[in-house]
Each structure stands twice: as C-alpha cells, then as structure tokens.
Structure 1
Amino acid sequence: AWQLDWVHGYQAERIEVWARCFDGATLREERNGPAYHAYHARVSIGNGGVLGTGIGHGVANEAGHLPERESDSIFAVIAEESGFVGAGMLVLLYLAFTSLLVVAAARTRERFSRLVVSGVAFYFAAHFFINVGVNLGLLPMTGLTLPLISTGGSSLMASFAALGLALGLSARREPSLDLDAFRG
C-alpha cells in the first residue's frame, strides 16, 4: 500500500483505485465498488464510438449509471452522445479558446495584465485537461468540473469572473497599427 499520510482517506482511496485500474480486469472487478465512477465514465466514452448515440440517447447516461453526469462526467456524456467526432471538436474548441486567450495576453500593454490573462488561459486549459484526463482514466477522480460547460453555480461564476477579468485586461492593448506611418 502507498503511504499517503498527507491526503484525506477518500483521496488516498481514489489514488489507489486509479493506480490499480490501469489493467481492464481490475477495473471490471471493482466496477460496483470503489471504481464505479471510473468504470462507467469509460463505458460511456466507449459506447459513443465514432459518431455517438445521439443527443439524449446515451445508454449509460440515460440509465443513470454515470454519476455526476452534469458536472464531473460531462465529457463522458458528450463523448457518448456525440462520439469521437464531437469529443474531438470539443477538444479543438477548447484549444482555440485558450489559444485566443494566450494571443490576447501577448497583446496587452502591461506585464501584470499579460500575467493575469495568461493565468486565466492556464486555468481553463488545466481544468479542461484534468476533467478529460479523469474521464479517460488517465488521472484519479478529482471532482473538477469542465469550465463553461458543466453545471454548478460556483464553477460557472468562477469561470465567468476569470473570463471577464481576462477580457477587461486584454481590452487595454497596444495599437495594432502604427499611426505615425500614416501621418507622413
């Protein structure tokens, strides 16, 4: 067993379940116990196939097997109902979104604004990759939502506040045209 004295009991259990479940046999054996959430998230993603089952027609989602489907497992729901294509489009959308935030950070005037907007970009990217990693079984269960998509008042308010801060700071940027060149 691992010596995880610095984490709470439920956190240590999540890490141990995650470490044991890298082989499919252990995951199937513990699917009704501590690996319930991880197992059903992977089953949901696998059910989606390439094109998905259709919006509102996810088998694991509609049967109620997938816990926290509106928040922690929203990526598994999207992957089941829209398939690999829809999940891939969501990944590309988040990459474009965070790329736009990085570009906005690069164009701001002050160093402080650049750092804050870059931090907001990192916040969204980190939350996205942790949520997707958890649903794919690459990371232990965390309870982290998918920003701007998952339900949950606190998560949405924090995301909108961070986005508003980034947009406000990025509005103060260097002019894109050299006006002296036009004056002759």
Structure 2
Amino acid sequence: MRDFTANHSALALNTATLGHNLDGHGAGWPIERVLDACAERGIPGIVFWRREIGDRAVEIGERVRAAGLSVVGLCRAPYLTGPMGLPGRAAIMDDFRAAIDMAAGLGAPVLTIVCGGVEPGTKGIGESLKLVADRVAEAAAYAAARSVRLALEPLHPVYGGDRSCLVTMRDAVDLCLAIDASNV
C-alpha cells in the first residue's frame, strides 16, 4: 500500500468532505480558502460539486491553476432517471449539457454521473438503465467536443430506489460497452 504521509502528489480533495461549503455544514469555507488549504498541504487536485461553482466556472478554474493546483473532476451530472430528478427529458438533458459546460469551464477532465433512481412507473432497474444509456450516449458527443469525459458512478444498492439505478460495477461496464463512446 502506498504511504501518502510525506508525498501528497497523487491526492485530490473532494469538496464534499468539507460539507459542500454550506453555511452551518462542514468547514463553511469559501472556495479561495479551500484552494489555499490544499496548496499549503501539498494536495494538488480538487473535485468540486456543481452547487459550489454557480456561474463562476471559468473564474474558479483560473484561480485553481493560479494556485498551482488542478481541477480533476466535477460532481455531478443531474439525475438522469428516477423520482428525484428534474421533470421531463428536455429539462434533464438541458441540465446535463449545463453540467458538461461547467466542467469544461473549470477545466475539469471528468464529470461524474450519479444516474438517478428507478424511473417512476417502471419495474426494476432494467428500463431505467436503458434510459441512462440513451441519455449518456446522447450527451457523449457534446461532452467530447468540450474535452470532458463522463464517469458513471455506481452507488451502493441501498440507494437504488431514488438515487442510483446503477448499483454494480458489472452494470457500469455493460453501460459503457453499450454506449460505446471513447469518453465514457
């Protein structure tokens, strides 16, 4: 096992570990303080969550690079299926493209996709996974044109009902093969 005690060069901070910087949760630090803390500790990479970025993606990406750090990812695309997602396919795909644009503005090479739960009115995860495959395939070319890779993140099955119909690595690999895009 690697020892990161003295060498942090392979580490990245996911800002979720700070409580998403919401008042009253986690560190509550502004992005600039997070960047300073990472630089001071030799943590070269950072993964942001969309709600922290707002309309400042380009500015924040520039600040990250000026601090000698790199944005290694953005969490997350909108739920593509399920009861917690946006109403309607058009709204989902518009928000998906907005997430891709935000990743590109930050200079993040990867956008994480937490798929969303089982689509209402369906039984089991099969139909929902087909919807995920269709929507990711549709967005893949848009993302590729902006140099953004799309990373499917399976979640523990306990989240299968509402947050992720993708709950196994096998299903994630199968989706990647079905989508057949080099950036997924």
TM-score over 0.5 (shorter chain): no
More helix by share: 1
More strand by share: 2
Higher RCO (C-alpha 8 Å, min separation 6): 1
Q: Over alpha carbons, which structure has the higher Rg?
A: 1
Normalised by the size of structure 2, how large is the TM-score? 0.30
